[in-house]
Amino acid sequence: MARTKEFNEDQALDKAIEIFWHKGYNGTSAQDLVTHLGLSRSSLYDTFGDKQKLFAQSLQRYQKNAQNQIIDLLEQSDNIKETLKEIFKQAVIESLEDRITKGCFMVNSSVELAMHDEEIAKIVKNNSQIMEDVFTKAVQKGQDAGHISKVNSATVLARFIFNTYSGIRVLARTGEKDKQVYDDIIKAMFSIL
């Protein structure tokens, strides 16, 4: 009946994530997308609708990936505190390596768009909710195992951890390359876990 797509839709989405992440929504033009995704304007619009829809799909895909990564690590962990240390260590490595300083796509998007675009706001809130739940369960597990202090409740610590994570991602976006700054923040954070 018809010819098959010459490009992989998910691969195109990954390219879209890259450029939106780097330049933001308003900073990325249709031409940028055409050039970076390597497909024609018509294919782009036929496949993804419009710029806003493409952005939303990109952010969704990013969220699922990032989320699953953390969920897997925490669920398979038998020492939550150590796993959290690994997660933050990884965030620092990414921040320092990041030659084009992208920060976190979710944080960037919420700052730029959450208040102007309801669909993006929903994605962001959904992400926050899921992350809070995941961290809460993980902290609870850590507290039960005696690896994490019970001075503060699991919910309090979960929200606190997620907030520190956001802050670090903003710091990365500003281009901070001094590892000591990240390490200090993380050291302080872990002193209450």
Partner DNA sequence: CTAATTCAGGAACGATTGTTCCGTATTTTT
Partner DNA sequence: AAAAATACGGAACAATCGTTCCTGAATTAG
Task: Select from a second copy, DNA, none the partner in contact with residue 79, using the beta carbon and a kind-dependent cut-off of 5 to 8 Å.
Answer: none
Residue closer to a second copy by CB (options 12, 28) is: 28
Closest approach, Cβ 28 to DNA, in A, equals 6
As given in the structure block, the two tokens for residue 69 are 């990564």
How distant, in Å, are the alpha carbons of 54, 85, 141 from that of 137?
A: 33, 16, 6
Question: Of 49-57, 66-74, 75-83, 99-107, which segment contacts DNA by CB under 7 A?
Answer: 49-57
Residues binding a second copy (CB under 8 A): 23-24, 26-27, 100-101, 103, 107-108, 110-112, 114-116, 121, 124-125, 128, 151-152, 155-157, 159-160, 163-168, 170-171, 173-176, 181, 184-185, 187-189, 191-192
40 is an interface residue for DNA by CB under 7 A: yes
For tokens 């899921």, what's the residue?
130
Residue closer to DNA by CB (options 5, 177) is: 5
Task: Select from DNA, a second copy, none the partner in contact with residue 115, using the beta carbon and a kind-dependent cut-off of 5 to 8 Å.
Answer: a second copy
Question: Cα separation of 99 and 110, whole Å?
Answer: 22
As given in the structure block, the two tokens for residue 66 are 């990032």
For tokens 């669920």, what's the residue?
75
**What is the DSSP secondary structure assignment for residue 99, as one 8-state letter?**
T
| Cβ 180 vs Cβ 159: under 8 Å | no
Residue closer to a second copy by CB (options 21, 39) is: 21
Question: Cα separation of 104 and 66, whole Å?
Answer: 10
